A and B are shown apart, each in its own frame.
Chain A
């Protein structure tokens, strides 16, 4: 059974995103007209207002922008302490996630991390959660 996580905010666009994670594919919407990647998902491109988009795979590489360690428990599924990070993906969007296989004290500004997967489950069902760790050698 997959790990229980706080409930996802679900809409048809989010549902699409999470469905790809079942295949361990990190795909973001990419505007079919101007090519801008966007995240979180939604109906239109903020650059050109086009409604045409494809779900394009991303490299899964990002640079660390910031992080915070929760010392107080907010979610039963995440006992304190736990850390979240924000990465800037190669494709442009900033992406909130959490770090794996790297100690918080070893995190550095602009450090390159790459995609890993862990599991997750909530009332909408099972999925895989994109998380980030040091690139494998």
Chain B
């Protein structure tokens, strides 16, 4: 397929937008106090909007801005923008919706188009309270684009799709379950350095190997949490981002590439490991930022399942295809290692905020001062979103 992006135009957006505020709810308390668990299944004490509102307030405080400074809004998939704006008393000049990376990309475009200057990106999800299920008979109404299509054969859940993915990786490359386990162990180690992470109990490789399989070859600790929480991020036109509470963190590159052909058959997953999409995004973000994978100090990937990290490290060129297994071992992806990954604990151990939680973490790593969790001298942070054929990436830098 022909080149679909214009590097010259893309390059002009480099460092034009800055992250000026981040905030999230108290994930641990949200988890322990999940309304549904306390009050009976399905009866939420908090809802998506409660959690989103709390995070928004914290992000505004972190930026030193008020809601009246906000003229653009991007909401996560659980929120209706109309209701959110009503709750928060906002009449934005532009609004959008999507996953975290999508919202950052769209806000960057909207700001550069001149539609707005200061965008709040807000996410809230009371999925634990609401007893959300990601597999099985309760996921009904699944049409052709859903794994539920294969229910007559017993296939269900995203986890099973990633189990098929990892099994294929094992078959082709000899990747071992112990190697995969190194990912969950590393992320847990990071969570234990993060007071806001849900999971605070250390996890050894023995614990990992002794845990039950869910969809073999994936075990319990390869799966993300299901928990409540909210996240908000404030981005602003870079020339208006000075003299706020924190030194701004720049959005230095954005990239987006999709791989949907034969998706329902699982071809992009099983025959390509989504690498075509990864390569498409890599070709955008590294030239745009004027950087290479070697320059990345902190890395985070969408980790609803541990396997995502193998795929993105290989696809973005941190190691060769098929060598993700050996790469993630020996502390290489841990804080203090060559490429610290998902330093907050990620969605496996910090909070399943559908990747929104990774953004504040990367921003804070670049601001510095995270204590034992701090990646020393972090100047470049990359986020990779790699879900169901939609690959996006953001590179943040400290100026």
Structural contact, A96 and B266, CB atoms closer than 8 A: yes
Decide yes or no whether A109 CB sits under 8 A from chain B: yes
- When A8-B151, A82-B154, A129-B153 are in contact, do A69 and B137 touch as well, CB less than 8 Å? no
The interface on chain B, measured as residues whose beta carbon lies within 8 A of the other chain's beta carbons, has a size of 41
Q: In the complex, what residues of B have CB within 8 A of residue A40's CB?
A: 144, 149, 264-265
Structural contact, B151 and A75, CB atoms closer than 8 A: yes
Task: Count A/B pairs, Cβ under 8 Å.
Answer: 116
Contact residue among B146, B212, B266 (Cβ-Cβ distance under 8 Å from A86) = B266
Interface residues on chain A, size class: 35 or more
Q: In the complex, what residues of A have CB within 8 A of residue B155's CB?
A: 84, 96
Q: Mark B140-172, 1 if CB is under 8 A from A, else 0.
A: 101110101111111111001001110110011
Structural contact, A66 and B165, CB atoms closer than 8 A: yes
Most buried by A among B146, B165, B172, B215: B215
Q: How far is the CA of A56 from the CA of B365 in the complex (A)?
A: 57
Decide yes or no whether A20 CB sits under 8 A from chain B: no
Q: How far is the CA of A109 from the CA of B270 in the complex (A)?
A: 12
B150 to chain A, nearest CB (A): 4
Decide yes or no whether B135 CB sits under 8 A from chain A: yes
B160 to chain A, nearest CB (A): 5
Structural contact, A68 and B144, CB atoms closer than 8 A: no
Structural contact, B266 and A94, CB atoms closer than 8 A: yes
Q: Mark B356-385, 1 if CB is under 8 A from A, else 0.
A: 000000000000000000000000000000
Q: In the complex, what residues of A have CB within 8 A of residue B271's CB?
A: 65, 94
Spell out A's residues near B (CB within 8 Å): 5-9, 11, 14, 39-40, 42, 46, 65-72, 74-78, 81-82, 84, 86, 93-98, 109, 120, 122, 129, 131
Spell out B's residues near A (CB within 8 Å): 135-137, 140, 142-144, 146, 148-157, 160, 163-165, 167-168, 171-172, 212-218, 261-262, 264-267, 270-271
